[in-house]
Amino acid sequence: MTEATKRKKLLIVERKLEHNRGHHHTQISALSMLLPDHDTNFVAGESYDGFLGAAAGKLAARSVKLARLQSRLQYGNISQRLGAVFGALKSAHTLRLPLSAFGAPLAGICRSLQLGPGDLVIVPTADLDTLESAVELMTMFADRAPRICLRFLNSELGDRNERIRSKRLRTILRKLPTNVFLFTETEELAAYFRENFGMPVEGGFYLPCSMHVAISPSLGSDQGGRFRIGVFGEPRPEKGCQRLADIAAALADLAETGSVPPIDFVIQGSAADFRDGGVYAALQEFLKGERNVFVSPQDNRISPEEFEQLFHSVDAVLLPYQTAIYSLQGSGVVQDAVAAHKPVIHTRGMSMMAFLSHGNGLAATTDREFAEAILRVAANPESFRQATARAAAYFQDALAANPLLRVLDPSLHGQQQGS
C-alpha cells in the first residue's frame, strides 16, 4: 500500500461558504492545518463562487427549506402544521418531505470520495439541520460511516422557534449515534447545552479566524499621534452598532476635561451606513473630528490582506455587543484581537472570558463606562502589553489543546477540559 492510500480523508462541510467574506473560508485552512495528515475536501453552499478551488459538492438551500417544513409538520402546533402542509404542497407538490436538510446529498458526496470509518467529516458551523442530517447519514452508512464532528456556535441552532427547537434537539439526542461528536466554540455555550439538554458536548473548539496568533505585537503604522479604536465586521444590531454614536459623544465630553490624544474610531461599514438613514448616520458629526474624536469609515468588503493590515493599525478593539446573544456565542473579532495583541473593550457579561481575563479585557455596561475604558487604554497603551501577550499565549495553548484531537486519539481523554 502506498503512502497516498494510507492517508485519511477529511471532508469539511460549510454550506454558508459562498464568497470571500466573514470567517467561513478561514475555517477551511485552519482545519487543514490542524489535521495535516488528512487529505482535505470541502462542501460549500450552492452559490459558492470557486475562490478556494473546486468543491467536492454543493448543498442547495431548497432542501433546507423543505426539511424545515418537515420539522413543523412533526413538532409544530396545529396552525404551524397546517402552514407546513400548504408550504409543502406549494414548494414540492407533495407531503413526502426529506427526513433531513442534506443527509442524503451528503451521503452521496461521502460515497463519491470513498469515505469510511477511518475518515472524518467536520461541520465547523453546525445547527439543528446539520445534526439531523448527520444522524440520517449515519443511518444510511451503518458501520461504514465516517466519524462526524459538529461544532455549534450559538444557542439558537438555526431555528428561532424555541419550542420546536427544543423538541427537535431532544428527539435527536435520544438516538444520537456514538460516532457523532458534538462540540461548541465557547465553554459557556457547552455548559448551557449540558445543563438544559443533557447534551454530550465539549467546549473549547476554537479555530483561528482572520488573524494568526502572533508571538509579539505588531508595531502598527504612524497615525499622526491618534489613538485608534477598531470596530470590525458588518454593523448588525446585536453587535451594538447603534450605541457607537452615544459612546463617541460620551468620549468627546470626557476628552474635553483632560489631556488625551485624539481618538479615532476605525469603523467598517458600507458608504450607505454612514449617510442619512444609515445605521451610522448619527456619527456624521464626528467625521471631521471637531471635538478631538474622529470617525474613519472603512470599507467592509476588503481582501483578507487588507483586513489584516487594517486590524494591525488599531490600538484597541471595541465590542459593545448585546449579551442576549453574546453571553453564550463567541466572536471571531475577540479571537482576532487576542491573536493580534490588542486590548479589548467589551460588554460586561460576554462569553469567551477565558480569552478576556488576562488583564487584556476591559468590561463596560453604560456608554460612559465604555468611554472611560477607551480613555484608560489611550492614556497608556504600553501598560497592556504584558496582558495582551498573556492572552495570546493562552490562545496558542487553547488551539494546541483542541478537543477535536481527542476524537482522533482517545488516549488524550485524560486531558479533557471544560466538561
Q: CB–CB of 199/167 below 8 Å?
A: no
pLDDT beneath 50: ranges in the chain: 1-4, 415-419
Q: Is 289 left (phi over 0), alpha (psi -120 to 50) or beta?
A: left
Name the pTM for this structure: 0.88
pLDDT digits 0-9 by tens, 1-50: 444 456 899 999 999 899 877 678 889 989 999 999 999 999 999 999 99
pLDDT digits 0-9 by tens, 136-193: 999 999 889 999 999 999 999 999 999 999 999 999 999 899 999 999 999 999 999 9
Cα–Cα dist 199/180, whole Å? 12
Cell numbers for 230: 477598531
